[in-house]
Amino acid sequence: MTKIHPVILCGGSGTRLWPLSRKSYPKQFAPLLGPESLFQATARRLSGADFAAPLILTNADFRFIVTEQLAATGIAPSAVLIEPAARSTAPAVLAAALWLAQTDPDGVMLVAPSDHAIPDAAGFRNSVAEALPRALAGDLVTFGIVPLRAETGFGYLQLADAGAARATTPQPLARFVEKPDVARAAALLEGGDCLWNAGIFLFSIAAILEAYRRLAPALYSAVEAAVAGATADLGFIRLAPAPWQGLEDISIDYAIMEKAGNLAVLPYAGGWSDLGGWDAVWHETGPDAAGVVCHGPATALDCQDTLLRAEAPGQQVVGLGLENLIVVAMPDAVLVADKSRAQEVKGVVAALKARGAPQAEAFPRDHRPWGWFESLALGDRFQVKRIVVHPGAALSLQSHVHRAEHWIVVAGTAQVTVDDTVALVTENQSVYIPLGAKHRLANPGRLPLTLIEVQTGSYLGEDDITRYEDIYARG
């Protein structure tokens, strides 16, 4: 039986869902619709008897988040490929195909973004099964979503057969349609022969490699060199940077799909959303009879068609008499916007970046390979952090030029190295790290380690670190 290789793309930034989604921790890793992230839900959806282990493509900043979140689902990847730079989907899909061809040249790959919501996982897998014979026959199959409204945020797929929009088997494609304006979107919806372009693809490895060789030979040569020069790094595969840097930033639609003749489209009528804005999150979360969605410690009084999200346990967000609003409260930033302008939130990020506000891109909780930390208080010459270290994990052996630190353990047991001294520090105990001392923090236990760190000094930036040893091979 042919097993399908899921290829999950998770390098995007998702600025329309600011402040929950940011450059340092984008929407695919956030629990937007439930306890699991969109990335975790995608991995679960593309797993089971018909699927091989997933191949993940991401960037260096997200590599440890990817493995941590996958481990929480119990799903082990076949490999995690690290892209040296963001170059859109055409190079990423080709790199995946070349990598898979080394071990399964006759296989089939299913390419999917990591940030889509598809509630009916079984129904989607059934649709993939319907498309598989065409992929095995050499067609490049794309999935089109039966449209629910005149949407200007998506590209469209126009079917050759006007009556086939609700077919359950792959159909011939007439043409791709760029993102339309409002009038054109309404006409496409009324015509009944167009589907939303979901950016999900199924094809044999041999067929897609042949398409790249024929339609994008320069791209093929460069990505082939990047894969051939890939190196292993702590369980990750780093694609060679030199051939990758010169690649064109181009989607697979433009590079391949719009030029290929062996295309087929499978209409999908199940639930689907790319969660491209807070209005989509409002819709997918399920508004009540008044059109209100509350998430976290949020309360709506006499509100209509409004989303209220509180993302910190210590907050209380209360809406009174609100209508058609989006309110998202993070510990360090709050968004209040008219729901009809949800697509303009990316402009908020641009405005904050222009002002130099760190909230534009930096998430308040900083995720590291060993765990995470967050700043609780920041003053002129001091900072207080909460640090959580995963079981068995350890920070680097390091020193600081400008600050001293005081660690207070509040849960778990810490193994602390200060110069030549190694000691266990348990709950309610503390240790002082003098300025300039070589030190390391590790969690030797089976439960997460939580401590409060108090920093004092003339400079408290994260770049005041000299690393001597690091199990994660960071510089």
Question: 108: domain CATH number?
Answer: 3.90.550.10
Residues 224 and 97 in one domain: yes
| Rounded Cα–Cα distance for residues 127 and 133 (Å) | 11
Residues 242 and 208 in one domain: yes
pTM of the model: 0.90
Residues 388 and 434 in one domain: yes
Confirm if 319 and 295 have CB atoms less than 8 A apart.
no
Q: What percent of the chain has pLDDT over 90?
A: 83
Average pLDDT over residues 235-260: 94
- Name the band, by pLDDT with cuts 50, 70 and 90, for residue 475: low
Domains identified in the chain, total number: 3
| pLDDT tens track for 266-318 | 999 889 999 989 999 999 999 999 999 999 999 999 999 999 999 988 899 99
Please tell me what DSSP assigns to residue 134: H
Q: Is residue 278, in this structure, part of any structural domain at all? A: no
Q: What angle do CA 202, 207, 212 make, to 5 degrees?
A: 100
The residue from 233, 268, 303 where one domain ends is 268
The residue from 239, 268, 297 where one domain ends is 268
**Is residue 423 scored above 90 in pLDDT?**
yes
Q: Is residue 475, in this structure, part of any structural domain at all? A: no
Q: What percent of the chain has pLDDT over 70?
A: 100
Mean pLDDT of the chain: 94
Residues 157 and 36 in one domain: yes
- Name the band, by pLDDT with cuts 50, 70 and 90, for residue 420: very high
Q: Look up the domain containing 399 and give its range.
A: 369-469
| Rounded Cα–Cα distance for residues 147 and 31 (Å) | 26
| pLDDT tens track for 196-215 | 999 999 999 999 999 999 99
Q: Is residue 451, in this structure, part of any structural domain at all? A: yes
Task: Residue count of the chain, please give it.
Answer: 475
Confirm if 291 and 167 have CB atoms less than 8 A apart.
no
pLDDT value of residue 448: 96
Residues 452 and 348 in one domain: no
Residues 133 and 229 in one domain: yes
Average pLDDT over residues 212-230: 97
pLDDT value of residue 334: 97
**Is residue 450 scored above 90 in pLDDT?**
yes
Q: Which of 91-95, 103-107, 299-303, 365-369 has the lowest mean pLDDT?
A: 365-369
The residue from 268, 302, 333 where one domain ends is 268
| Rounded Cα–Cα distance for residues 317 and 380 (Å) | 29
Q: Is residue 277, in this structure, part of any structural domain at all? A: no
Residues 261 and 291 in one domain: no
The tokens for 377 are 């208080």
Q: Is residue 279, in this structure, part of any structural domain at all? A: no
Q: Is residue 145, in this structure, part of any structural domain at all? A: yes
Residues 129 and 217 in one domain: yes
Q: Is residue 446, in this structure, part of any structural domain at all? A: yes
Q: Which of 188, 200, 199 is nearest to 148 (CA)?
A: 188
Residues 385 and 458 in one domain: yes
Residues 168 and 26 in one domain: yes
Residues 199 and 121 in one domain: yes
Residues 78 and 176 in one domain: yes
pLDDT value of residue 11: 83
Cis status, amide bond into 19, omega within 30 of 0: yes
Q: Is residue 276, in this structure, part of any structural domain at all? A: no
Scored b (16 or more CB within 10 A) or e, 152-171 reads ebbbbbbbeeeebbebeebb
Average pLDDT over residues 236-265: 94
